[in-house]
Every structure is written in C-alpha cells, then in structure tokens.
C-alpha cells in the first residue's frame, strides 16, 4: 500500500511538472526573425519556445488541414489564411489577452481584413511585395547600362532572358504569385479566377522557360548573394537580406530589389493560432510579445520586411523605414495589387499549368 | 505453438507496417476532396452505427483513378521515374560491382576497414550529404573551379539543376546498398572454382564471366532492388539537385498533396506506384522460385 502511494505521488508530481513547464511551438517562415527575440521571449516570460521553419505556404496548409499539427502559432499568407479559416483551422483571438493590439497600423489592418474580416483570427507579422532582385553588375554586363531592372520586361521578354540565362535566373515556385505577375504584365486582371484568363500566362512562361534555371522559394537568398545567379524573382525582404549578406561577405556582388513599375503583388503574412493549439495561452503571450513596438521593430530591422505595427516605426532604422523598397510611398502603394484565394477547381487548373510550365509536360 | 508464434511475428510486422497503412491510403484514394480537416470526404463515423458504415462505402468511387488516365502528366511522370531509376540502378551496378569485387579479393585483414569505409557515410545525415553536392556541383562549386583551374574547360559547366546531377546524387546515395549485397555474395565464392575453370582452359576474363558473375547473381539482384525501388519514388534528390524540368512521380505526388491539397488524387497516385512496383517483383520472385525448383 505504501509502495502504491509512493507511485501515485510520483505520477502526480510528474503531471504537475508537465503542467508548469509551459511551452509554445511557433512555426514561421525561414530567415524571418531576429533570433535574439526568441531568447528574449524565453527570458521575459519563462515559457519554453520551440521554433520551427518552413518555406512554402503549401507545406503549412497541408499541416493545418491534416490537423493536430502541435503548433501554437503559425504564419500563413493572407490568401492561404482565408481558406484555412473557412476550413476551420484557426481559433478566434482573445483580444483581452493582447494588450499591445493598439500598436497595430490601420493602413495594413484595412487590407488584411479582406482575408480575415475584423482581423478576428490573426495579426499582421510582416508584409512585402513580390518583385525582382538583380545582381546589378552582372545584369548590366549582360544587358547593358540601361537594363530594365525595374520592369517585368527584364524577366518576361524572351530576348532579355536569353541573355540572362548565361548568368542564372531563379523564379519563385509559387504559382499563386507568379501567374498574377504575368497577367499584370500583359494588362489582364492579376486576380482573375477565370481559367481562360489564367491560361494567358502560360505562353509567357513557355517562351522564357528554357532560360529559367530553377523554380524555388528559398535557395535564391544564398544563390544571389554568392553570385551563383544574377536574377531572382522573389520576395522583397529575402532579396534585401541577400543584398545584406553579399555586403557582409564583401565579395563584390551588389544586389538591388525593385517592385516592377507595371505593378507588383502585395502580400501579408499573418500570425494565427490553430484551433487545436496545445497551449493557446502561451500563444497569446507570444503574439503580444511580437506586437510590442520595440520587438516588432527589432524583427523588421533584421529581416528587411515592413510590418503592420504603427508604434514600431519610431524604432526602425533608417535603412528600413527610409527604403522605398520596404516602405513604399503612398503613390507606390497604389501601384501594388492583392489577390484572393482560388477555389479547388481553379487551383487544379493553376497547379496543372504550373507543372506544365516547370516540366514541359 | 512456438512455431505458430514464430511465423506470426513477420506477418504481424507486415500487417502493422504495410497492410494497414496501405488500406488507409487506398481508402483516401476512393474519397473526394473537401475544404475541411482532414481535407477529404467521407470520413468513417461509427456513431451512426451500421447505416453510417454502409453509407461510407456507398460514397466511395474510383473517379480519382479514372482521372489519372485522363491527363498525360501522370503516365509521363511514371515513365520518366522508371527511366531515371533504371539508368541509375545500372550505373550504380557498374560502379558498385568493381568496388565489391575489390573488397572481396582484398586480403582478409583489410576487409573490416574497407567495410567500415563503405558504411562510414551513413554516419552523416543523408540530407547534409545531398546538400554538400550542391556545393560541389554548382556553377561556382569545387568541381567547376577545379576543372577551370586545370584548363579542361573555359566556361563553368551547368551540372547542378540538371538530370546529370540527379544521377550523381542517386548513385552516390545508394552505392552502399549495391556494394554490400554483392560483396556478401562474392565473399562466399569458393576460389577453387576459379582455379578449376582456369585449369580447364578458361582465360581469367571468361572465368570471371562464366563463374564469378553467375555466382554473384543473387547479390546483383538484391542490390539492384535495393537501389531501384527507393530511386523510383525518390523526392529529395531530384528536388535538391535536379532542375525544375526533372519530372518524377515523387514530385507529382508532392504537388497533388501540397499544392492541390488533393489527398484523394495523391493517394491514387501512390497506390498506382505501389502496383507498378509490386506486380513485377511478385512475378520475378515466382519465376525465381520455379527455377530453383527445377534445379532441384
């Protein structure tokens, strides 16, 4: 009997231990935070932070739709968020636990409400544009001094691409962004869900396909910085990080980013809490920590993406807040477009077309 | 009783790790997609009792398999994977056989060391080893720098992101799986058979061809299966080393699963892949068994 009692107390102690050691599991994009913030969060709250990364919305979405991902905070992009909310993947935020909610920027909140009405399920983490990063030296060497580095002409005109192929071109492997870009280039509605309009993007890619070395959504940061490639169609902050890495390596590579003048896509990465999150309390604490003006500024200063936090702006370094590639002027903002999610049928058309573009089949 | 127990262990293993997962995949392949968690319908609910189970089976159909025949993407991807797997198996055999032969012929005291060297790469993660090939094969990589330095080439070669890089990756990764079974077969080879062949007038080459190769057949076959089967469904190597144009069924499966969120079609692709693999293997084994019986 005594022995049994001992076992029971041991079990009780174990259970209590599990309950007090609070932890939070965060699933974010790769290269997307200043890692010092992670240790700071642990020090301030005493919550153990487990941080994992992904490089495509598709991977995240599959985990969300499979259920019981085990994550407490995830960061889908607006269009994906909207679909996952419909599928019932997220829980409504308890705003009473988010005292820093007042720091958020209404200009961004108005736009994210398109995906998440009233911003009930998510807060904005970062936002940015999808555009073109170039190795300035190499591109000018190949195309001449007046190379159109601020225009989709650079990558959608076969004669330019034919020359650029020699120094290497990567595209994002993200059809939901690459197809709207091509549609915008030919003057169609980039947010069209009409399969006949979407089909018009195919010949544009087929004409330049032989000159594209790879479709990938994360390798271009290093490839561009090392000088392995000279052009990458990618996300603004990633290319600016690549610019930074090249500058640090001091290898003579100069990287520039442009949101093309014909119009570029603007996207929002939103932090949300899965409906089956094991530690929703800790998740709210993490969101509130991120929404702190100085923390958010530290993240932006590190990753070169704009954020949706008005109060953080006074702590941003000039390199970030003063760079129109990160915080575009009001006029440039008007030139950016947003898109909405495809339904399953249109998604299949888009994926099939993208496979055909990538593999020729 | 003891005998029954011994027999049941491998069967239980097969049931838990193959049959049950396969049935789950098969069931999903007969469902329809839905925007929900999990993203397919119908799901089996026992709460409605017998009627619910009956309804569940009534809702299943084969339309996803029909769909696979309607788009040429799928059979092209199967064929291309079969081709890549077959060529890499052959190349792995060409590289692996001499290595295994050399190991088997080496003095006894060297063998443990040589064996160790073959197994050594497994101590590093597979992913890291494939990643390091990116550093070797890229335009600014070691290989190109070396070739430029020797003056053999004047422009860097484009190897990374092509099919050649995929072959290199597969051969490198699966080489030990080819070497070990062949080595095991060759090690058992009775040297006096070769002496007898030479005594009877065979040249060394024809003795190798007529005696060594047939006696190591079991090793060659086992090694080829060990390379061919995983290479057919390979996803990591083509996605890291191959260009976007390398069409393989593993990638198509990934796309169905992740981009289209279409678990049922993805499962149908997987079921067909399994059939492609299993039917020839069963036929082959039956054939082997018949031959063995004939010999006796």
Q: Cβ contacts (< 8 Å) between B39 and chain A: which residues?
A: 65-66, 87
Q: Same domain for A152 and A118?
A: no
Regarding whether A318 and A355 lie in a shared domain, the answer is: no
Q: Do B73 and A67 touch (CB under 8 A)?
A: no
Q: What is the dihedral of CA A38, A43, A48, A50, to 10 degrees?
A: 10
| Residue A18 token pair | 């599990």
Together in a domain, A176 and A42: no
Do A146 and A229 share a structural domain?
Answer: yes
How far is A342 from A349, CA to CA, in rounded Å?
Answer: 10
Subunit contact B258:A215, Cβ cutoff 8 A: no
pLDDT reading at B25 higher than 70: yes
| Whether A59 and B258 lie within 8 Å, measured CB to CB | yes
Considering only residues A15 and B36, tell me which one the structure prediction assigns the higher pLDDT: B36
Residues A91 and A197 in one domain: no
Q: Judge if A119 and A136 occupy the same domain.
A: no
The answer to whether residue A302 sits within a structural domain is: yes
Counted residue by residue, chain B has a size of 296
Cα B256 to Cα A163, A214, A350, B97, B253, distances in angstroms: 34, 20, 12, 38, 5
pLDDT over 60 (residue B142): yes
Distance from CA of A347 to the nearest CA of B (A): 6
Gyration radius from chain A CA atoms:
22
B63 touching A, CB under 8 A?
no
Q: Which B positions 124-183 lie with beta carbon below 8 A of chain A?
A: 138-140, 158, 161
Higher pLDDT, B55 or B22: B22
**Chain-chain contact of A361 with B72 (C-beta, under 8 angstroms):** yes
- Give yes or no: residues A109 and A137 share one domain: no
Please, what is the average pLDDT of chain B?
A: 89
The whole-angstrom distance between A276's CA and the closest CA on chain B is 11
Query: For B165-195, what is each residue's pLDDT tens digit?
Result: 999 999 999 999 999 999 999 998 888 888 8
- Chain A residue numbers with beta carbons less than 8 Å from the beta carbon of B138 are 228
Whether the CB of A227 is below 8 Å from some CB of chain B: the reply is yes
Q: What is the pLDDT of residue A50?
A: 95
pLDDT value, residue A6: 47
**10-residue averages of pLDDT along chain A (361 residues):** 47 47 92 94 95 92 92 95 94 96 94 94 96 96 94 96 94 94 96 96 95 89 92 94 91 93 94 96 97 96 94 95 91 90 89 88 70
Residues of A with Cβ-Cβ distance to B73 under 8 angstroms:
352, 355-356, 361
Answer yes or no: do A138 and A203 share one domain.
yes
**Cβ atoms A167, A142 nearer than 8 A:** yes
Residues of B in contact with A87 (CB under 8 A): 35-37, 39
Whole-number pLDDT of residue B47: 66
CA–CA min distance B125, chain A (Å): 19
The pair of structure tokens assigned to A90 is 């997220």
Helix (H, G, I), strand (E, B) or coil at A10: helix
- Tell me the shortest Cα–Cα distance from B161 to chain A, in angstroms: 7
What is the pLDDT at residue B293? 84
Whether residue A12 is found in the same domain as residue A124: yes
Q: Chain B contact for A330, CB < 8 A? A: no
Task: Write the residue in A83, A175, A355 that is nearest to B35 by C-beta.
Answer: A83
SS3 for chain B is: CHHHHHHHHHHHHHHHHHHHHHHHHHHHHCCEECCCCCCEECCCCCCCHHHHHHHHHHHCCCHHHHHHHHCHHHHHHHHHHHHHHHHHHHHHHHHHHHHHHHHHHCCHHHHHHHHHHHHHHHHCCHHHHHHHHHHHHCCCCHHHHHHHHHCCCCCCCCCCCCHHHHHHHHHHHHHHHHHHHHHHHHHCCCHHHHHHHHHCCCCHHHHHHHHHHHHCHHHHHHHHHHHHHHHHCCCHHHHHHCCCCCCCHHHHHHHHHHHCCCHHHHHHHHHHHHHHHHHHHHHHHHHHHHHHHHHC
| Count of domains forming chain A | 2
The predicted structure's pLDDT at residue B46: 63
Looking at beta carbons, which residues of chain A come within 8 Å of B261?
A: 58, 61-62, 65, 344, 347
State residue B45's pLDDT score.
62
Residue A332 maps to a domain: no
**ipTM value:** 0.73
pLDDT of residue A14: 47
Instruction: Write down the pTM of the prediction.
Output: 0.79
Tell me the count of A-B CB pairs closer than 8 A: 80
Share of chain B above pLDDT 90, in %: 48
The CATH number of the domain holding residue A49 is 3.40.190.10
- Domains in chain B, CATH or no CATH each: 71-295 (1.10.3720.10)
Q: Are A82 and A166 found together in one domain?
A: no
Q: Give a yes or no: residue A230 inside a domain.
A: yes
Domain residue limits at A63: 2-128+267-327
Cβ contact, residue pair B261, A347, below 8 Å = yes
* A334 domain residue, yes or no: no
B202 has a pLDDT exceeding 70: yes
**Structural domain includes residue A244:** yes
Q: What is the 3 state secondary structure string of B113-152?
A: HHHHHHHHHHHCCHHHHHHHHHHHHCCCCHHHHHHHHHCC
Q: Which residue among A58, A88, A212 places its CB closest to the CB of B258? A: A58
- Chain A positions touching B72 (Cβ under 8 A) are 361
Which residue in B has a C-alpha nearest to residue A215's C-alpha? Answer: B244
Contact B244 A228 (CB under 8 A): no
| A260, A345: one domain | yes
pLDDT at B260: 85
Q: How far is A14 from chain B (nearest CA, A)?
A: 32
What are the beta bridge partners of residue A126? Answer: A269, A307
Q: Which helix (H) or strand (E) holds A206?
A: helix A201-208
Best of A59, A62, A209 to substitute, by most chain B Cβ atoms within 10 angstroms, is: A62
Same domain assignment for residues A209 and A353: yes
> Residue A345: what pLDDT?
85
């Amino acid at each position: 009997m005594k022995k049994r009692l001992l076992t029971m107390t041991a079990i009780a102690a174990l259970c209590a231990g599990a309950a007090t050691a609070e932890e939070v599991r965060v699933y974010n994009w790769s290269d997307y935070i200043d890692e010092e913030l992670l240790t700071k969060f642990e020090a301030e709250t005493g919550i153990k932070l487990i941080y994992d990364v992904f490089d495509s919305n598709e991977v995240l979405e599959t985990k969300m739709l499979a259920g019981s991902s085990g994550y407490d905070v995830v960061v889908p992009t607006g269009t994906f968020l909207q679909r996952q909310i419909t599928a019932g993947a997220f829980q409504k935020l308890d705003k009473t636990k988010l005292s820093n909610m007042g720091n958020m920027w209404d200009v961004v909140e108005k736009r994210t409400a398109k995906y998440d009405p009233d911003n009930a399920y998510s807060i904005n983490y970062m936002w940015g544009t999808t555009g073109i990063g170039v190795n300035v030296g190499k591109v000018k060497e190949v195309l001449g001094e007046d190379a159109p580095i601020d225009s989709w002409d650079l990558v959608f005109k076969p004669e330019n691409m034919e020359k650029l192929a020699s120094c290497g071109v990567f595209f994002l492997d993200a059809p939901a962004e690459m197809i709207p870009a091509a549609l915008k280039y030919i003057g169609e509605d980039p947010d069209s869900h009409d399969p006949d309009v979407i089909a018009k993007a195919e010949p544009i890619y087929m004409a330049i396909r032989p000159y594209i070395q790879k479709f990938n959504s994360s390798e271009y940061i290093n490839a561009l910085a090392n000088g392995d490639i000279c052009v990458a169609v990618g996300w603004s902050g990633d290319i600016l990080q690549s610019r930074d890495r090249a500058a640090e390596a001091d290898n003579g590579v100069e990287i520039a980013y442009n949101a093309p003048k014909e119009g570029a896509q603007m996207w929002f990465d939103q932090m949300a809490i899965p409906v089956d999150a094991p530690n929703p309390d800790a998740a709210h604490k993490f969101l509130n920590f991120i929404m702190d003006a100085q923390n958010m500024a530290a993240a932006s200063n590190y990753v070169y993406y704009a954020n949706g936090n008005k109060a953080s702006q006074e702590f941003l370094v000039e390199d970030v807040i003063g760079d129109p590639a990160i915080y575009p002027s009001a006029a440039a903002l008007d030139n950016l477009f947003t898109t909405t999610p495809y339904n399953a049928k249109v998604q299949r058309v888009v994926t099939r077309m993208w496979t055909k573009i990538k593999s020729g089949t | 009783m003891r005998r029954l127990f011994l027999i049941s262990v491998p069967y239980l293993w097969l049931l838990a790790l193959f049959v049950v997962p396969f049935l789950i995949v098969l069931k999903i392949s007969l469902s329809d997609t839905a925007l929900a968690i999990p993203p397919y319908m119908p799901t089996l609910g026992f709460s409605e009792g017998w009627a619910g189970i009956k309804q569940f089976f009534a809702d299943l159909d084969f339309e996803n398999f029909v769909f696979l025949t309607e788009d040429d993407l799928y059979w092209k991807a199967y064929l291309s994977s079969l081709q890549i797997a077959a060529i890499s198996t052959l190349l792995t055999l060409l590289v692996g056989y001499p290595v295994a032969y050399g190991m088997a012929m080496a003095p006894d005291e060297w063998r443990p060391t040589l064996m160790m060297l073959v197994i050594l790469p497994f101590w590093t993660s597979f992913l890291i080893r494939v990643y390091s090939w990116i550093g070797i094969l890229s335009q600014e990589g070691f290989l190109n720098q070396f070739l430029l330095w020797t003056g053999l080439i004047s422009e860097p070669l484009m190897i990374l992101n092509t099919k050649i890089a995929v072959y290199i990756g597969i051969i490198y990764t699966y080489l030990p799986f080819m070497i070990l079974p062949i080595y095991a077969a060759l090690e058992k080879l009775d040297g006096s058979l070769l002496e007898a062949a030479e005594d009877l007038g065979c040249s060394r080459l024809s003795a190798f061809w007529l005696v060594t190769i047939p006696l190591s057949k079991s090793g060659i076959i086992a090694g080829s299966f060990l390379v061919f089967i995983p290479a057919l469904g390979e996803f990591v190597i083509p996605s890291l080393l191959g260009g976007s144009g390398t069409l393989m069924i593993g990638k198509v499966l990934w796309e169905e699963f992740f981009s289209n969120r279409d678990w049922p079609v993805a499962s149908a692709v997987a079921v067909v892949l399994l059939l492609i693999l299993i039917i020839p293997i069963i036929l082959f084994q039956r054939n082997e068994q018949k031959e063995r019986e004939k010999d006796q």
